[in-house]
Structure formats: C-alpha cells, structure tokens
Amino acid sequence: MTRNELKAIAISMLDRAYCPYSHFPVGAALECSDGTVFTGCNIENAAYSPTICAERTAVVKAVSEGHRDFVRIVVAGRSKDPCVPCAVCRQVLREFAPNIEIICLNSDGAEVVYTLPELLPHSFGPEFLGL
C-alpha cells in the first residue's frame, strides 16, 4: 500500500470517531509488515476515562486478530497542528513496534513524520522484564 493510500484510510476513519464530549475526531491506519491494515478511531464515553484513542483502537484490533508486527501508523486529526499520539498510545505502540514510523496529519492532510524513539525516548519495554 502506498503512503497516500494509508493516509486516505486514516482520514476516512475520522467520520467513524465517536467524540461527543471533546468534538476532536481522530482516525488511525496501522500497517503490518505483511501489508494488512487495521483501522481505528477514538471512542469516547460518558464516564470520560474509558475513552480509547484511535491508535489504541487500531492496535487492539490488530493484536486480537493475531497481528503484532507493525511498521507504520497514520494518525489523522482535524486540528491545525498534525495530531500526535498521546503518551499512553506511544507506550502501547512501544510494546510491539519500538521503531514504528508515525505519520501525523492535520486537517489539511499536511504531515509530520516521527519514529517512536523520537516521541518516546529512553522507553520502557518488554526486554526490561527479560522478554
């Protein structure tokens, strides 16, 4: 899949976001090494804290379907600045893909690209526990 195709999928997920509290939709498209793509959107909750971000929605869908080898993720927002993953999502990505490429989009589709070590330096991961 091309980068532009993956970006288009993440942008299309903005319409699936359930965000009646923040009114801040986020879409994600997570690409695996075998080319499989898992999508995600943020899903908010009246109790607030059960809210799950778009990135984690995509990761839990992938892992629960037997995929753990992630190569890149597109995160799309409708903000002026490209939407970067929150700290919790960075840590969740770190578990499975310590060097994943993270492509962040703003409302115009303009991108900034990071690697996970740039967004989460000196990170804690499974190897600390001997795994």
Q: Which residues are catalytic?
A: 55
Q: How far is the CB of 104 from ligand THU (least distance, A)?
A: 9
> DSSP secondary-structure letter at 30?
E
Q: Which is nearer to ligand THU, 11 or 26 (CB)?
A: 26
* Binding letters toward ligand THU, positions 76-115, x by CB under 6 A: ---------xx--x--------------------------
Q: Which is nearer to ligand THU, 43 or 63 (CB)?
A: 43
Do 56 and 89 form a contact (C-beta atoms < 8 A)?
Answer: yes
- Alpha-helix runs per DSSP H in the chain: 3-12, 54-64, 87-96, 116-119
What is the full DSSP assignment across 36-66?
-EEEEE-B--TTSTT-B-HHHHHHHHHHHTT
Looking up tokens 């994943």 gives 100
Q: How far is the CB of 129 from ligand THU (least distance, A)?
A: 25
Name the one range near ligand THU by CB under 6 A: 2-10, 19-27, 65-73, 94-102.
19-27
Question: β-pairing, 70-77 with 26-32?
Answer: antiparallel
Which stretches of the chain bind ligand THU, using CB under 6 A? 19, 22, 24, 26, 42, 44, 51, 53-55, 85-86, 89
